[in-house]
């Protein structure tokens, strides 16, 4: 085999590789001999057919198989001999081959960058602890009361009002023809709850019990039943009863009706649940800070094709968001060129962080066990009650889907490892203080983004100019702390 390196620039390596004709022929003869042992040809004893006959019958098929194996083995040998680690699948193009002649092909490969480990103990992180307040716990209990509140029909005669719970009979028609799913008897409806299609509940306000009325509405254009979407309908309705809520005493008996020992146990359970939600949210906050610090600490070129693949995934989501008018507020009004620049930076940052996390994990022997993957599968199944077995079967029958669960598990293990190594400053905040800090952080990010956009418009583009990656939009949850619109774009999905 002859190997000539034709390009060595940055992370790009190109080679011209020649596998000599004699090597190809030896491979073909060896494979034909192997095939001949297992076949019977008329006129020859089993396994005794001459090589010439075998070549006439099976030469073409064997040649294709041999060429594929020769390219695979020789390309892997080139990479191994030079200690090159491909970032993505190498591109291979056969230049020439004829029977009895050398096989020549070009191989272009992008390699993984060399990453020098920093001292993880030098990282300093902020970790916040939030304790739910008594007021939050009481509010949560009030919501439980509302969800479990019983009602009774009022005795006094009066017309319906917004906020009433009514019991109604109805039948819907389109062009005077009843349609499937348009009829209900004894249906409970809270007026003003927006449970029914727009315009329906409003027409039930101010009517008398027992008086028939016609409710005229139009189904939304995006209604989930295609045959009804965008069509006008008339519902024959009658309010049979008006209900009012029955007062509920929040006491030990109420807690016991929910399966808890007493009211104190209920408050403890709610406090623990809120604490877990705060814990998940503040962990994500610390994780974003960690990713920002790792991004600042590591600055190296990323394999172009990895960055391109990541950008294409992001851009397809951006285009879908534009079509559905769900683009982030801070992105609306930006040109495609501005959006592309912004998300190309995000893609490069994601890839860089993914490589860093992967490197840290490999250097420290972190792995994902099958037991951990199985737990993730069961968690996926629990999210779809009634379809648990289908979800389990899907992952069992699709190894690639099962393998995709490993990436987020691995990333979390690496993040936890780095947090253990880093210096972590613990702080206690009230929910109000946490919300205030989140709002200030959002304002600061948005302000920085606005200034950056303005400077880009004023300054001419400079090829190769350094750009600090923007962060991707964060999705920190709330009822703990409120989700803030316009939160920073972050890299919670570092592609490991």
**422-448 burial, b for 16+ CB within 10 Å, e for fewer?**
beeeeeebebeebbebbeebbeebbee
Q: HSE-up of 204 (CA within 13 Å, CB side)?
A: 34
d(CA 21, CA 15): 19
Quote the number of domains for the chain: 3
Q: Dump the DSSP string for 339-371.
A: HHHHHHHHHHHHHHHHHHHHHHHHHTT----HH
Does residue 270 lie in a domain region? no
Give yes or no for residue 283 having a pLDDT over 80. yes
The answer on 160 and 70 residing in a single domain is: no
Residue 187 and residue 170 in contact, taking contact as beta carbons nearer than 8 Å:
yes
pLDDT band at 463 (very low <50, low <70, confident <90, very high): very low
Domain span holding position 422: 113-133+276-371+402-496
pLDDT band at 38 (very low <50, low <70, confident <90, very high): low
The answer on 440 and 351 residing in a single domain is: yes
Q: What is the tens place of the pLDDT at every residue in 333-375?
A: 899 999 999 999 999 999 999 999 999 999 999 999 999 999 9
- 3-state SS class at 186: strand
Q: Mean of the per-residue pLDDT values for the chain? A: 84
Q: Which of 116, 114, 111 is nearest to 304 (CA)?
A: 111
Does residue 271 lie in a domain region? no
The answer on 119 and 106 residing in a single domain is: no
The answer on 443 and 316 residing in a single domain is: yes
Tell me how crowded residue 318 is: count the other CB atoms within 10 A of its CB. 18
**Percentage of the chain lying above the pLDDT 70 cut:** 84
* Tokens linked to 48: 């005794």
CATH number, domain of 241, equals 3.10.50.40
The answer on 227 and 173 residing in a single domain is: yes
Give yes or no for residue 185 having a pLDDT over 60. yes
Strand partners, 8: 13
Lowest mean pLDDT among 115-124, 279-288, 442-451: 442-451
Question: What pLDDT is recorded for position 47?
Answer: 61
Lowest mean pLDDT among 54-58, 188-192, 319-323: 54-58
Residue 98 and residue 40 in contact, taking contact as beta carbons nearer than 8 Å:
no
CATH number, domain of 494, equals 1.10.3120.10
Lowest mean pLDDT among 31-35, 113-117, 303-307: 31-35
Does residue 266 lie in a domain region? no
Q: What is the pTM of this model?
A: 0.68
């Amino acid at each position: 085999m002859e190997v000539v390196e034709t390009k060595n620039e940055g992370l790009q390596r190109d080679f011209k590789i020649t596998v000599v004709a004699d090597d190809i022929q030896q491979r073909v003869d060896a494979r034909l001999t192997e095939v001949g042992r297992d076949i019977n040809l008329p006129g020859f004893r089993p396994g005794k057919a001459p090589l010439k006959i075998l070549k006439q019958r099976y030469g073409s098929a064997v040649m294709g198989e041999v060429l594929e194996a020769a390219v695979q083995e020789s390309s892997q040998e080139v990479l191994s001999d030079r200690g090159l680690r491909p970032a993505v699948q190498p591109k291979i193009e056969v230049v020439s081959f004829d029977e009895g002649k050398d096989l020549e092909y070009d191989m272009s490969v992008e390699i993984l960058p060399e990453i020098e480990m920093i001292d993880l103990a030098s990282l300093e992180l902020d970790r916040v602890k939030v304790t739910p307040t008594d007021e939050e716990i009481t509010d949560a209990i009030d919501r439980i009361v509302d969800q479990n509140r019983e009602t009774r029909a009022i005795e006094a005669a009066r017309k319906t009002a917004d906020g009433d719970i009514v019991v109604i009979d109805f039948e819907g028609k389109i062009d005077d023809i009843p349609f499937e799913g348009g009829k209900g008897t004894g249906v409970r409806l809270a007026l003003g709850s927006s449970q029914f299609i727009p315009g329906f509940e409003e027409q039930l306000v101010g009517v008398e019990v027992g008086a028939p009325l016609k409710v005229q509405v139009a189904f939304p254009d995006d209604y989930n039943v295609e045959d009804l979407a965008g069509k006008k309908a008339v519902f024959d309705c009658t309010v049979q009863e008006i209900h009012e809520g029955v007062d509920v005493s929040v006491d030990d008996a109420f807690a016991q009706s929910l399966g808890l020992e007493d009211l104190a146990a209920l408050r403890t359970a709610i406090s623990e649940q809120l604490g877990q939600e705060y814990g998940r949210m503040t962990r994500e906050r610390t994780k974003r800070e960690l990713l920002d610090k790792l991004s600042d600490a590591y600055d190296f070129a990323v394999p172009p094709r990895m960055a391109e693949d990541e950008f294409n995934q992001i851009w397809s989501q951006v285009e879908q968001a534009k079509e559905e008018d769900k683009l982030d507020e801070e992105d609306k009004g930006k040109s495609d060129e501005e959006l592309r620049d912004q998300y190309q930076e995000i893609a490069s940052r994601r890839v860089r962080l993914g490589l860093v996390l992967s490197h840290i994990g490999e250097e420290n022997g972190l792995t994902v066990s099958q037991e951990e993957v199985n737990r993730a599968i069961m968690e996926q199944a629990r999210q779809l009650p009634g379809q648990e077995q289908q979800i389990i079967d899907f992952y069992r029958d699709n190894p690639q889907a099962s393998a995709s669960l490993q990436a987020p598990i691995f990333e979390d293990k690496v993040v936890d490892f780095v947090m253990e190594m880093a210096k972590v400053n613990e702080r206690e905040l009230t929910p109000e203080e946490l919300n205030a800090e989140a709002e200030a952080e959002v304002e600061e990010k948005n302000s920085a983004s606005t200034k950056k956009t303005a400077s880009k418009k004023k300054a001419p583009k400079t090829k190769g100019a350094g750009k600090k990656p923007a962060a991707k939009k964060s999705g920190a949850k709330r009822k703990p702390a409120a989700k803030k619109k316009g939160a920073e774009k972050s890299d919670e999905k570092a592609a490991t």
